[in-house]
Amino acid sequence: MTLPGSPFVAYRDAALHLDGVPLDALADRFGTPLYVYSQAAMLAALAPYQRALAGRKHLVCYAMKANSNLAVLQTFAQAGCGFDIVSGGELERVLAAGGDAGKVVFSGVGKTRGEMRRALAAGVRCFNVESEAELEVLSEVAVSLGRRAPVSLRVNPDVDAKTHPYISTGLKGNKFGIAHDRAVAAYRRAAALPGLEVVGIDCHIGSQITQTSPYLDALERVLDLVEEVEAAGVPIHHLDLGGGLGIRYTDEEPPGADAMIAQLLARIEARGHGHREVIFEPGRSLVGNAGVLVTEVLYLKPGAQRNFCIVDAAMNDLMRPAMYEAYMATAACRLRDEAPVRYDVVGPVCESGDWLARDRDLAVRQGDRLAILSAGAYGMSMASNYNTRGRPAEVMIADGQAHLIRERETPAELFRGERLLPTP
């Protein structure tokens, strides 16, 4: 049986393993719901980026919104990566994990003055500025600190990434970036502001992209702009081409990172821009297929129209199915030699939208465990405490050993910061 995440996710003697470790054993040890990640799978996903970029000036910045656990960040920092952040809190996580602020690019449409001050003090590599108004505020903040902020303008190329509308970011109707036809004027303004230093150009068109053509289309528009901006007297030192490369959840066939990058670099060379540093911001493609969510079957509930497999994980633990109607492959942690039944896999949360998988043929019994596959990206990082549910524990498999990298939350921890009103 071929599963997303192979060769790291596989059955051995009817037991589902991640990176050689049986998931049932981890559930016995750490409880459920439980996120489990493979460090080796993450590094294997990073390798094609590094191979394709070897020998030229580059930086791979992990887009940490995909999964921001400190051990995950530590893994990529030790592998030489920088980080793409979108909040001040993410910057603090990078620093806590031993990351280098000088390899951080700060993206996001709504940076606050406080976040700007902290990022300048930490010495981030670059601010990816997303509006002309942000240019003005960032310059003011930098001047007040006696500094110049390095900036790259995120331009919106109006390119369709052919992905889910919620994760498409490069069209005119999206909130991200500076409109293509305003970019040259915005660069002129940035170069004139006393608190800014223009260092690059940035473009990110979406997430879970499974074709190369949108990247090539966006690159052409970016290179056109680079030439216009430099003709206007503003030098551009680096090209930040964003991230968004998709993974296999079911039958998708996204291009390999090395093959895609080779095409982009060839186009950059052909256009005469081979001397520029290139930056990529992969997130999902590095961690998505490196993780699973393990959950226990609480009840099997036959119905007149649908059968329900009720598990102890819920939409607060894994938001993607409810939010995007995303397909997540589901596999029993132990195979049974009996006829499967078609189920909807649902959780305990008091919402009809609380489902993890629909119409899945499963041979399971009460007390069995299921693994929701390809859950390493936008799983725990989007989890919440809805219904006063503690978020799952997280485990990382490294060198064959399972390490607890986040403890399960307790109810007392969830309301620790709350206060009762004074008693009359």
- Residues with Cβ within 8 Å of 222's Cβ and at least 6 positions away in sequence, in order, are 155, 157, 201, 203, 239, 241
256 is in an annotated binding site: no
Looking at the DSSP bridge assignments, the partners of residue 61 are 82
231 in Cβ contact with 190 (< 8 Å): no
Helix segments in 145-256, DSSP class H: 183-192, 213-231
299 labeled part of a ligand binding site: no
- Is 283 annotated in a binding site? The answer is yes
Residue 157 in marked binding region: no
Query: Active-site positions?
Result: 350
Residue 284 marked ligand-binding: yes
281 is in an annotated binding site: yes
Assign 3-state DSSP to the chain and report helix, strand, coil percentages, each to 5.
Answer: 35, 25, 40
User: How large is the C-alpha radius of gyration of the chain?
Assistant: 23
Closest of 130, 214, 243 to residue 178, by C-alpha: 130
417 forms bridges with which residues in the sheet?
none
Residue 242 known to bind ligand: no
Query: Do residues 328 and 357 touch, judged by C-beta distance below 8 A?
Result: yes
- Annotated binding-site residue? 235: no
DSSP string, 230-263: HHTT----EEE----B---SSS--PPPHHHHHHH
360 is in an annotated binding site: no
User: In DSSP terms, which residues pair with 42 in a beta bridge?
Assistant: none
Binding site per annotation, positions for substrate:
284, 320, 324, 351, 378
| Bind-site residues for pyridoxal 5'-phosphate | 244, 281-284, 378
Residues flagged as binding site: 244, 281-284, 320, 324, 351, 378
